[in-house]
Structure 1
Amino acid sequence: MNENVMYSIVVPLYNEELVIDESYRRLKKVMDSTLENYEIIFINDGSSDKTREKTEKICSEDENIRLINFSRNFGHQCAITAGMENSIGQAVVVIDADLQDPPEVILDMINKWKEGYDVVYGKRAKREGESFFKRFTARSFYRLLKSMTSIDIPVDTGDFRLIDRKVCNALNSLPEKNRYVRGLVSWVGYKQTFVEFVRHERFAGDSKYPLKKMMKLAFDGITSFSYKPLMLAGYLGGLSLFIGIVSIIVEFTKCILQKTSIVNFGLIISIDLIMFGIILSCMGIIGQYIGRIFDESKGRPNYVIENIVNKAFERK
């Protein structure tokens, strides 16, 4: 490892042609002000616009910049993983290119790191430019995840954080496929703290995390760090059985007292719908876990690198 590189800045990219130049400019300005050696690693996660061409141009003009091109789109968490696995700095900072997380906050993180903290995560004091639905669902998810897991995953945080080299090495040693990086950072432990900041509106372009991807990330977070959904499936099964038994007893008693037929199609259909709904819900929960077991069993890599541009810093 090249010991002269103090900081590695990991920046996932997916169709960021409108922001890449400004993102690079601000990151460079911040990192130059440290007066220490650094590298910025851009990970092109299968972009279909001009992100690759623009970033390759930046690499040709600045030896501190590296670009990792994926062979296709593997996802945000895999891009972060690739950046960490290819970083060589003594401290690694993960930040998105959209400038919602201000690069200037990195300096505050560095100060905390130099005080002796191994992980410094960015905590959002305020979220600008986001809809009420996005803020509400994000806030609800973070608190739901915290209540369901046995580890302390900080609320109102994303992947924007600084981690020490030993923390990065610990994360790189974890082999799991459906990665929820911010949860894994909490899981490995070490001395952690936070810095608060105001999350800005995107500089340009659209969010790369639509509802579908947010749901995928939420499932990865919950199933990676909690077995409570499986327990919930068992509780629902017990509740379904209880409802069915009570309904049968009530209906049977009613029929005896009123001297009517025991067969009541409305009741039977209602009970069937309740029980089938609960059964299918439980199967869906179990399926999420089985799907992740299947992914782990295949042993495929998390990503495939097409090429790396500007290998100014190499592992030794």
Structure 2
Amino acid sequence: MARHARAMARHAATETPHVSVIVLVYNEVDSVEPLHRELMGVLDAIGTSFEVLYIDDGSRDGSNEKLGQIAARDERVRVVSFRRNFGRTAAVQAGIDHSRGAVLVFFDGDMQNDPHDIPHLLEKMDEGYDVASGWRRARAASRSRALLSSIANGVMARLTGVGVSDFGCTLKAFRREVIEGVRLDGEMRRLLPVYAAEAGARITELPVNHRPRTYGKSKYSLAASSRVLLDLVAVKLVGGSPRPVYSLGVAAAGAWLLALAAGVVVAVQRVVPPYVHVHANLLVVAAVGLAIIGVQLFLAALTIKRSESTYVVREVIARPPHRQPGPMERTAGRATLR
């Protein structure tokens, strides 16, 4: 039975696979081979056709070369390689764009996600759900990081009305039709369940294993996580890319802070000699003007058109189907932003 399932999966993946496992990789050269062996062992046993799509986000440590060697051995594996590091959201977008499966499973390449959770996600999809979201309930992270993540997830769930406990967990499964039309930017990969919910998706979540990091270094960024709030503004009010929203939002916040500082100075001058009267104080005009500028910048952030410039593909690496391991097909990426 297992042999038949492997044969079926291998044959069907050369056409249109049912499941696309999209693995995000950035400078994970030591993790690539052990992760691939573990991943294929799990996928070979699920009894459905699949492909594994590695998205190399501009690695500079030899990860892309290792991935190319893997793709040379197996026609079910393809590698999309970026020209430089565009970030995890761009990698998720490329996974949506280049995958072929009806069900998309997103997976981190650092070995902290557990491949053995994938069948459980697919079981939920078989039950009729459109999204199965992984929840790292026992997270392998510091207490401070876990606490900040819990607070952020609570805020996001409250603001979006989407009952997901772990927006930041990469390990999620989606039916293609509920996310195919999205254009992601900034930190919007975390908000894929929100997009899916707006498309009418049935969403469930289940606890998944989160393993301690064995190889490499964490790419976690507190600054990137904090930008999710601006992403929420973009999604709920703009419906577009947050990149200009970031710049305009920071400028608006700066203007408001300067206005507040000017207001404080005006108040102090009113009670401290020589007791400058408000109507004669030019700082009042400056404070009001800065506040108005802040409002205008904020409104501009809400009305600016979205950008679709998210990533540039250097090459797509794949072995032609029905051939013995040998020369790979390397399709050069167009020098245009997607």
Residue 166 of structure 1 is matched in structure 2 by 177
Match for 1:210 among 221, 228, 231? 221
Deviation at 1:123, TM superposition (A): 1.1
Q: Structure 1 residue 65 and structure 2 residue 73: aligned?
A: no
Match for 2:233 among 207, 210, 223? 223
Partner Cα separation in structure 1 for residue 147 and residue 88 of structure 2: 22
Partner Cα separation in structure 2 for residue 50 and residue 284 of structure 1: 47
Residue pair 1:3, 1:89 contacting (<8 A) in 2 also: no
Q: TM-score, normalised by structure 1?
A: 0.76
Match for 1:98 among 101, 110, 133? 110
> 1:29-74, CA deviations, whole angstroms, 9 ceiling, x for partnerless residues?
1100112221100011100101011111111111211001111111
Partner Cα separation in structure 2 for residue 311 and residue 153 of structure 1: 41
Residue 127 of structure 1 is matched in structure 2 by 139
Q: Percent identity?
A: 25
Partner Cα separation in structure 1 for residue 229 and residue 118 of structure 2: 29
Partner Cα separation in structure 1 for residue 299 and residue 320 of structure 2: 45
Deviation at 1:117, TM superposition (A): 1.1
Residue 187 of structure 1 is matched in structure 2 by 195
Partner Cα separation in structure 1 for residue 231 and residue 17 of structure 2: 32
Moved over 4 A (4+): 1-4, 226-230, 278-285
Residue pair 1:118, 1:192 contacting (<8 A) in 2 also: yes
Deviation at 1:107, TM superposition (A): 0.7
Partner Cα separation in structure 2 for residue 211 and residue 284 of structure 1: 28
Residue pair 1:100, 1:200 contacting (<8 A) in 2 also: yes
Match for 2:125 among 95, 101, 113? 113
Once the two structures are superposed, the pairs formed by residues 268-307 of structure 1 within 5 Å of their partners are 279=291, 282=294, 286=298, 289=301, 293=304, 296-297=306-307, 299-300=308-309, 302-307=310-315
Q: TM-score, normalised by structure 2?
A: 0.71
Count of residue pairs brought into register by the alignment: 286
**SS of equivalent residue, structure 2 residue 204:** strand
Q: 1:251 to 1:13 in 2, by over 3 A?
A: closer
Partner Cα separation in structure 2 for residue 114 and residue 122 of structure 1: 16
With a CA cutoff of 8 Å and minimum separation of 6, indicate the structure with the bigger relative contact order: 1
> 1:117-156, CA deviations, whole angstroms, 9 ceiling, x for partnerless residues?
111110121112x12221122112112223333x415122
Alpha-carbon RMSD across the aligned residues, in angstroms, is 3.9
Residue 28 of structure 1 is matched in structure 2 by 40
Q: Structure 1 residue 88 and structure 2 residue 88: aligned?
A: no
Partner Cα separation in structure 1 for residue 100 and residue 47 of structure 2: 18
Partner Cα separation in structure 2 for residue 212 and residue 304 of structure 1: 24
